[in-house]
Amino acid sequence: MDTELPSTSASALAACNANNNAQTQDYTQLTPELMQRKLYFLVDQLKQMHAQLPENYQIRISYELLTELANSLLNDTIFEIVKGLMEIQNVTEKHLLTLRKQVETDFELEMQEWRSKITDPEELSHIEQLMQVKHTKKMRETDMKLIALLDQKVKDQQSTLNKAGIAGFYVTDNPREIKIQMFLLDFIIRLSRMKFEPHK
């Protein structure tokens, strides 16, 4: 089973290199006053998103973290990195779903082959039972492999975001901390769809 997946950190960061100089130029051209306005805008939007979270997660995402995240997002290149990671994630999920479906298809084809060969109903029933046991084991092994691959992709994503200097991201296996990072990613994606108008 081919389980090669897109490279998260290399692909996401490389996707931004072509635009990085232009993005950095826009970032540095902002005057201190406009930078401050943009920071206030980002913090205000993040606080509004934060207020919509379940209370137990609001407590775990501090105002200090929101401010650090807003500072990270002053450079628009960060949005491009996150978009790149999301695209890779979508490709990965589709790839893994295809691998799982292939196991199901292989099982059905093998069963059809047996049914075309065996004419004795009792013998066929026995073979079908054995094949079902084999298939169940194969699916369990496949699912474990796919989960391990997804877990590794999450770590790759965490590492990329951490290297990009985005507040709140680091490599962790803790489900609650991963959930918080998912909320932060959602914040970033929603902010990427908003337009900051500095002269308003």
**Predicted local distance difference test score (pLDDT) of residue 75:** 86
pLDDT digits (tens, 9 = 90+) for 125-178: 999 999 999 999 999 999 999 999 999 999 999 999 999 999 999 999 999 999
Would you tell me how many other CB atoms lie within 10 Å of the CB of residue 35? 15
Instruction: Please state the domain count of the chain.
Output: 1
What confidence category does residue 124 fall into, taking pLDDT thresholds of 50, 70 and 90?
A: very high
Q: Is residue 91 included in any domain, yes or no?
A: yes
Domain extent for 127: 32-192
Quote the pLDDT of residue 15: 46
In a domain, 169, yes or no: yes
Q: Measured in whole angstroms, how far is the alpha carbon of residue 161 from the centre of its chain?
A: 11
Q: For the chain, give me the number of helices (H) and strands (E)? A: 7, 0
**Residue 151 in domain:** yes
In a domain, 74, yes or no: yes
pLDDT in tens, 47-101: 999 999 999 999 999 999 999 999 999 988 999 999 999 999 899 999 999 999 9
